[in-house]
Structures are given as C-alpha cells and as structure tokens.
Amino acid sequence: MTSKSNSHLPPEFVTYYYTQTLDHFNYKPESYATFQQKYIKNFKYWGGASTSSPIIVYIGEEAPLTFGVHGKGFIVDLASRFKAMLLYIEHRYYGDSMPFGSFDEAFRDANTLGFLSSTQALADCAQLITDVKRNLSAENCPVIAIGGSYGGMLASWLRLKYPHIATGALASSAPILYFDDLTPQNGYHVVVTNDFRDVSESCYNTIKQSWSEIDRVAGQTNGLTTLSNIFQTCSPLNSSKELKDHLGMIYVISAQNDNPPYNPVSKVCGAIDGAPKGTDILGKVAAGLNASLLRGGPEAQCNHIIDFTPKNTSGWTWQTCTEMVMPIGHGENDTMFQGSPFDLNNYTKSCQALFGVTPKPHWITTEFGGHDIKSVLGNFSSNIIFSNGLRDPYSVGGVLEDISDSVVAVYTKDGAHGLDLLDATPSDPEWLLAERQKEIKIIELWIAEHNARLIKTGNRIGF
C-alpha cells in the first residue's frame, strides 16, 4: 500500500493504492495477477480501534473515486457523528484502478475487460476492507457500507454476501430489482412520465405530442435544417433520431435528478409552459431544452446534441452487456415517449458488435436473488437500508417496502436519485432532514448492537 496526497481533495482525505487480486474465484496463473486499486482513508473523525469506533466504507460505483467524495457530504456527516473512519474504495476498471496497467490495455478486448464484474468488485471490497482492518488492529470495528445507485447495489450485496465484512449497509437509490422479470420493463419511463405529468399536465401533453411533430417536420424538405434551427443545435442534425434521443435523455436526466432546490423537471416544464402565447409544440419543447441541465447554463450559445450511442470505451456499457442487464423499455402508449420496447435480441446483437460478448440476463437474479425477496430475506439477513426518492425513475426497481425489522425501506415522495447522500444545504426541506435523521438513527442502532454483541460474545472492547 502506497500513499500519495491528492491535491483535489481536502488534506484529511489521503489516497492509497492496494495491490489487488485480479481474479478472486479462479486459480489460473493469470488469476494471481494483481493491479493497483485506489482507495482513500480519512481518519479525521475516527475514535480508534480501541473504542471499536466504526469504519464507514464508501463502495465506489462506475466512476472515478473522487465522485464519491465530492458532494456526498452525508457520508462525512455520519463519520463526524459516529467518530468513524472513512474508507473510499474505487471500483475496478474505473478511475485510476485499471488492471493491466492502463486504460488502453484494460479496455483492449474481452480478454482484458473480462475481469470487470460485480462479484469481482465485491470480493475486492472484502479483501481490501479485511486488510485495512487488520493493519489497524480494527477487526472488532463495525463496518457500514454505503453506496449510491450501482454503488448502492454493491453496498447491499456486500452486506448480503459478506455479513462478516459489512455490519450494515445504506443502499441509496439502488435498483436491485430492475433485473430479469422482477419489475415491469416500462416502470422507469412511467415514473419519468408521472414526474412530468405531476408537475404539469400541459407540459406532459406537449412532450407527448412533440415526437410525431418532430417526425413530421423531419420528413419535410430541409426538415432537419428546420429542426436544427428550432432547437439551436451547435451542429446541423444528421437525423431526427439524434434529436429525439437527446430530448429523451433530457427528460430522463431531469426526472432522475429532480431534487430540491433545483428541481429540473419544474425548470423544463416551466420553460415549456411559459413559452410566449402562440408558440407551437416544437418551440415549446425547444424552450424546455434550453432550460435543461444539458444546456450548459445561460451563457451557452447553442445546444450540443450529445451522441448517446453506447461505446466500447465505457466500463458501464461493458457491465450492462454482460451481467447488469436492466430490461428498460416501454410500449407505444404507456408513457409520454415514443414506443421503444426492450428487445433482448437487439440488445444482445449490439453487445456482440461492441465487445464480442453475450449478455446473461438471468445472472444477477441467480447470484443475488430478487424473486420473492420479502419471503427469502424476511427471515434472513439484517441491517440494510434501501433508501429511495420516488421521483427517481430507478426507484421503481428499488426496495420500497420493509423486508424485516432491520432490512428496511426509507423513501421520500419528493426526492429523486441519491439525494440523501448529498451535501446538506440550508435550503434542505424538512422531509429530507427527516429522512437523513431516520437513517442516522438506524445506523446508530446497528453500531450499538454490534458493540453489544462483541461484549456478549466475549470480544474485548477497550475504553
């Protein structure tokens, strides 16, 4: 383990690299290869091993590790409150944690990318946490795993699969049930639609009508030029699909991030509904685009139409092409979007073209379960919080009902994706304060129970 200072982070966050096993589950010669996995320790608040003070572990998601530190102030608040050490673990194949020495080598082909999987990432966490605890003589300290979105799935799965490693888990906005046949495929876009409709029926109607209007204009002579002008695209449009994909992504991202105080759905709908009297449908939708998160702020001169085509340089796309198959799609008339059903055949073809791999749509439910979750985990497991904001379209694949006394669902009607983990601000609404307070109380109980069990089972806690 080597350390280096990280100039982008406050000084109490110190970066290290752990020599991690490439393949935890096989014993081929190449399985023993290692890579440098980035992690961050912060001892500022820690009460120390002798008082059995907690270790809060941030389980990295599909992003560089600094994404887990910046803006996720609730985790630091928890550390301060519980005298916890903070340990942030970067996910393999993201950020600086590249097997095979470099991004280019790691992403060369399926032979090198093949070790990017959720089970390997969980075993990385298990091994790293065990070693860090051993080096601190902190074996008795409770570990609280925290993550958001995919990182939240990993946090809950770490508790389920490695209860000896994670004492409890806070899984924020983790759609662990959006796999296989567990959740209606159109659930995601139904929530997006409801978010918009809830804010404004006319906004919803405008968007719903806009797709065919775009198609109609695109079919006219110089239609794409017309559309490019209406939507102030920075470059001329190559197809109407490009525009529709971009607009669709605006609505999806707005719904997913429909958190206070910004509430992007209200912003977009405010612009759509607030367009000058007489503005036609496309003009209204264009006004919505200009008010959106992707515009790049008020000083932006035009709209960069983003290419959302999956790329073979994305680790997350690899993961969705192997095991993280979330069958998200929708029919012709069940949402405000044009029909786009999930089609496993096309999905598979696309993955084969991108990476040469075939997705395994049943694997996640085989490995981690999900069917009859309440029956299965009702008398098994403990100490997991599944937190969700119901405005988050992923919440439809989340756990929204208590499974047992200590595997519980915490949700807010007015929150969206990953809100609870974010920095506290003076404008945080009461319901958000209440959600965080509830999570704090639950985690406090886990820690107290852990330490009570230690005493009961004869493990010494020094004071």
Active site positions, annotated: 149, 392, 417
Instruction: Report the residue from 377, 409, 440, 442 that binds a copy of itself according to the rule CB under 8 A.
Output: 377
User: Is 341 or 356 the residue whose CB approaches a copy of itself more closely?
Assistant: 356
Whether the ω angle into residue 261 lies within 30 degrees of 0, i.e. cis, is yes
254 binds a copy of itself (CB under 8 A): no
Instruction: Report the residue from 14, 24, 338, 442 that binds a copy of itself according to the rule CB under 8 A.
Output: 24
Residue 45, classified by CB atoms within 10 Å of its CB into exposed (0-12), middle (13-18) or buried (19+), is buried
Instruction: Report the residue from 68, 369, 393, 397 that binds a copy of itself according to the rule CB under 8 A.
Output: 369
| Cα separation values, 248 from 188, 306, 358, Å | 13, 11, 27
307 binds a copy of itself (CB under 8 A): no
Q: Closest Cα to residue 15, out of 45, 54, 53, 41?
A: 41
- Helix pair 315-322, 344-355: axis angle to 10 deg: 130
DSSP at 380: S
54 binds a copy of itself (CB under 8 A): no
Binding mask 62-81 for a copy of itself (x = CB under 8 A): --------------------
Instruction: Report the residue from 358, 433, 434, 461 that binds a copy of itself according to the rule CB under 8 A.
Output: 358
Distance CA 174, CA 218 (A): 39
Residue 417, both tokens? 């994706």
Of 320-339, binders to a copy of itself (CB under 8 A) are 322-323
Binding mask 165-194 for a copy of itself (x = CB under 8 A): x-----------------------------
How many chain residues touch a copy of itself (CB under 8 A)? 63
Distance CA 446, CA 88 (A): 20
User: Is 30 or 201 the residue whose CB approaches a copy of itself more closely?
Assistant: 30
Q: How far is the CB of 386 from a copy of itself (least distance, A)?
A: 16
Q: How far is the CB of 28 from a copy of itself (least distance, A)?
A: 3
Q: Is 2 helix (H, G, I), strand (E, B) or coil?
A: strand
Tell me the sheet residues that pair with 89: 39, 59
| Cα separation values, 16 from 4, 6, 25, 37, 90, Å | 6, 10, 25, 8, 11
Distance CA 375, CA 406 (A): 14
362 binds a copy of itself (CB under 8 A): yes
Using the contact rule CB under 8 A, the part of the chain among 76-84, 89-97, 163-171, 203-211 near a copy of itself is: 163-171
Using the contact rule CB under 8 A, the part of the chain among 25-33, 58-66, 100-108, 238-246 near a copy of itself is: 25-33
Residue 288, both tokens? 């919505």
449 binds a copy of itself (CB under 8 A): yes
First vs last C-alpha separation in the chain: 29
Q: How far is the CB of 104 from a copy of itself (least distance, A)?
A: 18
29 binds a copy of itself (CB under 8 A): yes
383 binds a copy of itself (CB under 8 A): yes
376 binds a copy of itself (CB under 8 A): yes
SS3 readout for 315-371: HHHHHHHHCCCCCCCECCCCCCCCCECCCHHHHHHHHHHHHCCCCCCCHHHHHHCEC
Distance CA 177, CA 356 (A): 27
Binding mask 99-138 for a copy of itself (x = CB under 8 A): -----------xx-xxxxx-xx--x--xx--x--------
User: Is 163 or 283 the residue whose CB approaches a copy of itself more closely?
Assistant: 163
Q: Are 165 and 126 in contact (CB under 8 A)?
A: yes
Q: How far is the CB of 43 from a copy of itself (least distance, A)?
A: 24
Of 31-50, binders to a copy of itself (CB under 8 A) are 31-32
Q: Which helix (H) or strand (E) holds 85?
A: strand 85-89
User: Is 4 or 362 the residue whose CB approaches a copy of itself more closely?
Assistant: 362
CB atoms within 10 A of CB 270: 17
Residues that bind a copy of itself (CB under 8 A): 23-29, 31-32, 110-111, 113-117, 119-120, 123, 126-127, 130, 139, 161-165, 318, 322-323, 356-358, 362-363, 365-383, 406, 449-450, 453-454, 456-457, 459
